[in-house]
Structures are given as structure tokens and as C-alpha cells.
Amino acid sequence: MSAAPADPAAADADRFGREALGPVLAEFCLRLWLTERFLPDAEDATLLFCARGGLRLKLLYERFLARTGLPARVPAAALMVSRLVAARTALEPPGEGVLSELGREFSGRPMSEVAAALAQRQDLALPAAWDAPFAAGRFAALLAADEPAAAALRGAIAEQDARFRRHVDACTGGRRHGLLVDTGLYGSTVRLLQDGIPAMRWSGLQFARSNYKRLPTPHFARTLGLSVESDSYRPWETCTAALRFWHLIEAALEPDLPSVRLFADADGDGPPRANLEVAGWEARIEPEGPGLFAGALAHVETLRPDDLHRVPAEAARGWRAFKRAVVWPDARMVAALELADRSRDFGRLEKVAQFAAPGGTLAQIRDSLWREGALMRRFPRAGRAGLVLIELAHAARTLRLQASALRRRAARPALQGAP
Amino acid sequence: MLLPERSAARVVSCDVFDTLLLRDHRSESRRFRDIAGLAARRLAAEHGIQRDPAAIWTARTEVQRHAYRALDLARPTGDVRFADMVDAMARILGLAGPAAAILHEAEIAVERSQLSANAPLLAWLAAEAWSGTRVIAVSDIYHEAGTIALLLGALCPRHPVARIYTSADHDATKRTGALFATVLREEGAAPGEILHIGDDHRADVAIPRALGLRTLQVVRPRHLILRRRTDALRARIVSALAPPPRYGRPGSRFA
């Protein structure tokens, strides 16, 4: 249980964790249990809770099972992975999945920056051609080039990749179906590992699945969003409010630990250790004090075996509270849900602020990670009218998308027979 | 439904739901609500256990949805067993022993009340059987053969079905072709010796035809399908508009 916080904003965040996030995450845990309960190849599978958000999901899931008495069938492990680490597995040679991921992350950036991120080295002395903006075909050609700097880059990537693969072997113990449990959204890690380590079968069990990148989705058949599955916010589907402020979910679940970038050989016979595994890392997965995650965990800690049948109804109420706070925030919620700067990741150290730096008013709102919050922060009194306009715009957009989806369905040849 | 005078087949294989046994206008969602309502009443009357029908309905739909999604991740040619779904539902609903058995019994009771025998098809099959054709039933369903036999026996006591194959028993479905491979092996028949009859375009026509079986599609009336879709839409709207029930629980603000 979290201690009573002195800071009013922290107290509100803690209460939001208990009343909104906790019930929603309890439902996620129940659905995760159902998935492992019915997995046909349970004896050949491992639940791999992915760093960093997955580490807190693992903690929540373990507490959920302990409180409710539901039996686990599939072994679980903490997988030290990130998109950067997964991308390294799929570079020999680079496939379409990894190139599109790199293209999106490093759009307009020099290819030397991509190389530095992948190798996590600044001493590669790459030729001038690497300074050109990222282009998929050109990058693949440069990476395969028969020259010393490219060879050094390939060597650095291969060395890190080999260590990661040994870490995967240690986590799975030879089981061939890896179920990646993570926060979501697009499921890049599933796609990259499926391409990079095809000897294993990979599936994604995410909190949310969303193709917000509008990229091809060959991995979506194997990637489930257990709590949210939608490519955009739909006003009449309460749970899609998570997509209005996704960083809130990420921030609540990501412990204060670095993203996984490097592996080092362990002393002795143990598997390689990731840079995340600093001294006392496991203790840092626990809540550091009152706040979003502490409140959510406190809710799960109140569950009893005979509460299971109430979990879906409580989750529905939790989603309503979540939407109220995120889509229709007041000044108090804006303060309660203020986040620390978010990391850009993918091997880079830059941060992104929750609320964009002052500039043009519209740009400041548009470029913020939480537009509704930014609007209410900028216009505490008149902002409410703006929220109505934003909601109406989303409703109109969703109706338009659903109408065109219906038209596409109607245009397809009808199949006979009832489902 | 136009049936040939004779099948000219060694084995006639028939789908069960919406072929041998016809469902009425109610959607699956409505059927699950009816099952939940009956189970809730019986739990209260026979065991003094209070369970909200909405909670039973949610458990049923959640378990089925996630069971099939888990199946698709690892063995998409297989099927889920209803006994496993009842076990998971019972855990969620906190039921054991005879109280848990009510979940199974309510399902069968509602199925029985909402199904009717396809009399013309059964009469034709009886004539086929009388003239020496073997009649079997092949169904993509989570129920075991014994449950289908129970329903068939209750709704058409003199049915001519000699053996029932279900996807749950054989962990193989028609829609992937795996169950037909089992049927061919168990019946010792060549594909061309079997006429398969069913309503689903993929599972009962396209797939068996691709495997070399002869097929005959029975199609439910359009107005019935439209009524079912309307019923499903109505159920969705009612479900979306209904506020989630409040439960009192120590440590929760919902108390």
C-alpha cells in the first residue's frame, strides 16, 4: 500500500491510479491469464515481460495471481529488450520491417546517427556517405559495404546481437514460443524479432495495439491488444481514450530505469547482463512513492478470489474515470497527470517534454503529448469549449472513417452462409 | 433447400448448427444473455449464490473471445473445448462443484429451447440411411460429440446420424480442412465418396470442395439472417448504454 502523500497533485495521481488505472490493469491481468489458460502450446511457451513497461506489468500480474489464486500455466521471465535491441536481430541482412522502423525513427537524420545508435559507439569513423539523410536502400547498401568502417559497425552490432540471443535463450530455457508482454502500441518488437529470430515463434500480448504509424501490419495477426485495439481514438469506445494520452500509460508503467541498449558478458557462466540491470534494479520496479503506479498496484492488492467476477465491471468504471480525466480534464487533473520529460529512446538520450515549449498557441497545443491537457493549461477558463470542439472533430473523423469502412465492406463480394 | 433425389455417395456428412439443427432469429449475444439469465436464476434458487446475469454474460463472452484468440496464436487449426471454457468461467465467477455445473446445464438447456430440427433434411437423410448410405455429422463447435448427440436425440429422436465428429473432440476444424482429413481417415473413404452438406461458405463448401469432397450448401433465409444481425446490433447498443453495475468491496471507492 502506498503511504499518504503530502503533495496534493501526487495524492490526486495516486487516487487516479487506484480508481482508473488499477481496475483497468486488473482487467488486463485477467485477460492475460485467460490467454495463457487457453494457450494450446503452454509447455513450449514463455511469457516474456519486456523492459521497461513490461517489468511493471509482470509485477502487477504476479500480485494479481497471488491475490486471486488463479494458477499460472506458462513460465514467465523479464526480457531485456527494446526496439533498438530487436532491430539488431534483423539486420543480417536488413529486412523491410527493420528498415521501415529505422526510416520512421530517423526520418531526415543522417545515417551515421543510425549507425551510432545501433552500435552504441561514437568511434566508428564512417565515410562521408553515412552523413546523408536516412534512405532505406542506401542504408542497406552502406551496411553491407566491403570497407573497414562498415565491417566494424557490423561487428559491433553482431557482438551485441549474439549477447542478446544468449539472454533470450536463458529466459526461454529452450521453449520456442515467446509471448512478449508489453504496453504496446504498434508492436515493433514482435515484428522485428519475428524477422530476426525466425527459429522461434513470437506473439505479442500488449495492453494496447494500434497502427498509429500507418505502416504494414504483417505481425498484427500474432499481436493482441488485450485492453485496447484501435488505430485511433473513437469517442464512443471509452477504452480508446488511452490513445489520447498514451504517454500516461507508458509513464505509469515504466520504472525509473534506463532503456535497454547494451549487453555485457557476465562474470562466470551467467547470461549477459543488460545496461538496465544496475544494482538494485528489481527493487526499482516497485513504486517509488505515491503516484499513478502506486495507486494501480494498491488496487490490485485489494483483490480477493471472489472479486474476479467484478473485475470487468470495475474496469468499465475505471475506463470512464480515465476518459473523464484525459479527454475532459480540469485544472486539478492537469496538475495531477503532469509527467516528467519522456525519453525518445531507440538508443538516443534526448527527451521530449509533455507540454511543447511556448511558441504559437496552436502549435504548442498540437505538439504536446497531451493536447487536451495543454489546452486546459493554456486556457484554464475557455479551454472547456475547445475540448468540446476537439471531441466533435474526433466524432466527425471517426464517423467518416467508419462510413468509408462500411462502403469498402459493401463493395466486397458477399459470402453466403451465416457465420 | 433443394435436395437431390439420391446422394449417390457412400457417406453423407452433415454440418449440425443451422443445417441439421436450426437456430432461431436470436443472435449469439442474445443467446448468451439468455444462458446467463437462466444460470443466475438457478444459482440463486438452488445454491443461494447471487451472481449478476451481466457478470455471467461477460465471463462467457470474455472467456470465449480470449480462448479463441489464444488458440489462433499457437494452433489455429484446432478448437477450444467447452469444458475448459466452463472451468475458466467457474473460476472467474467463484463457483465450484454442482454450482459450476449449472453453467454447462444452462447452456444446453437454452440451446435446446432455441433450436429446432430441420425436418425435410432429416427425412431425406433417413431415406439415404435406409438405402445403405452412412450418415455422419461434422461440426466446428466447442461441444463434444456427446453433447451434440444429446441435442440431436432430444430434438429428433429417430435421427439417422451414425457418428458425430466435432472440432473440439479432434482438435481440428472444418474451416482449415483438418477435421475433414480426420473424417476421411476414420471413415476409410475417398474424398469423392463423401457428400458434405452445410451452411457456411468457407467451412462447408470451399474447403471440402478443395479437398475433393462433393458439397451441397443449405442457406438460411435472408430475412432470418437480417433479424439476427438486427438482434446483435440491438444487444450491442443496450450493452454500450448500460452503466456497469456497482459492487461494494472493502478498499474500493465503488463501495
What pLDDT digit, counting tens, does each position of A104-121 carry? 889 899 999 999 999 988
- CA–CA distance, B180 with A3 (Å, rounded to integer): 61
Cβ of A312 and B58 within 8 Å? yes
Residue A6 clears pLDDT 70, i.e. is over it: no
Residue in A37, A302, A313 closest to B55 by CB: A313
Cβ of B202 and A415 within 8 Å? yes
Percentage of chain B lying above the pLDDT 70 cut: 94
pLDDT-based confidence at B1, cuts 50/70/90?
A: low
Q: Is A414 on the interface with B (CB under 8 A)?
A: no
- Cell, residue A117: 545508435
Q: How far is A40 from chain B (nearest CA, A)?
A: 6
Q: How far is A97 from chain B (nearest CA, A)?
A: 20
Residue in A36, A305, A418 closest to B18 by CB: A418
- How many other C-beta atoms lie within 10 A of the C-beta of residue A118? 25
Question: A139 burial class (0-12, 13-18, 19+ CB within 10 angstroms)?
Answer: buried
- Which residue in chain A has the smallest CA separation from B237? A236
- Cell, residue B172: 481440428
How does strand B134-139 pair with strand B163-166? parallel
Q: Report the SS3 class of residue B253.
A: coil
Q: Report pLDDT for A5.
A: 55
- CA–CA distance, A16 with A18 (Å, rounded to integer): 5
Q: What is the mean pLDDT of residues A44-49?
A: 98
Q: Report pLDDT for A230.
A: 92
- CA–CA distance, B255 with B242 (Å, rounded to integer): 19
- How many other C-beta atoms lie within 10 A of the C-beta of residue B105? 15
What pLDDT digit, counting tens, does each position of B103-152 carry? 999 999 999 999 999 999 999 999 999 999 999 999 999 999 999 999 99
The larger pLDDT score, comparing residue A242 to residue A383, is at A242
Q: Cα A237–A240–A241 angle (5° rounding)?
A: 105
Q: How many CA atoms lie within 13 A of A170 on its CB side?
A: 16
CB pairs under 8 A between A and B: 122
Residue A200 clears pLDDT 50, i.e. is over it: yes
What pLDDT digit, counting tens, does each position of B12-56 carry? 999 999 999 999 888 988 899 999 999 999 999 999 999 999 999
Instruction: Note the CATH number of domain B11-24+118-222.
Output: 3.40.50.1000
- CA–CA distance, B246 with B232 (Å, rounded to integer): 25
Q: Report pLDDT for A319.
A: 96
Residue A84: phi and psi, rounded to 5, are -60, -50
Cβ of A316 and B244 within 8 Å? yes
What pLDDT digit, counting tens, does each position of B191-248 carry? 999 999 999 999 999 999 999 999 999 988 888 888 888 888 887 787 777 665 555 5
Q: What is the mean pLDDT of residues A277-286?
A: 94
Cβ of A30 and B62 within 8 Å? yes
Rounded to whole angstroms, the maximal C-alpha distance in chain A is 66
Per-domain residue ranges of chain B? 11-24+118-222, 28-113
Residue B165 clears pLDDT 50, i.e. is over it: yes
Residue in B52, B78, B200 closest to A40 by CB: B78
Q: Report pLDDT for A344.
A: 64
Q: Report pLDDT for A378.
A: 84
Percentage of chain A lying above the pLDDT 90 cut: 69
- Which residue in chain B has the smallest CA separation from A35? B70
Q: What is the mean pLDDT of chain B?
A: 90
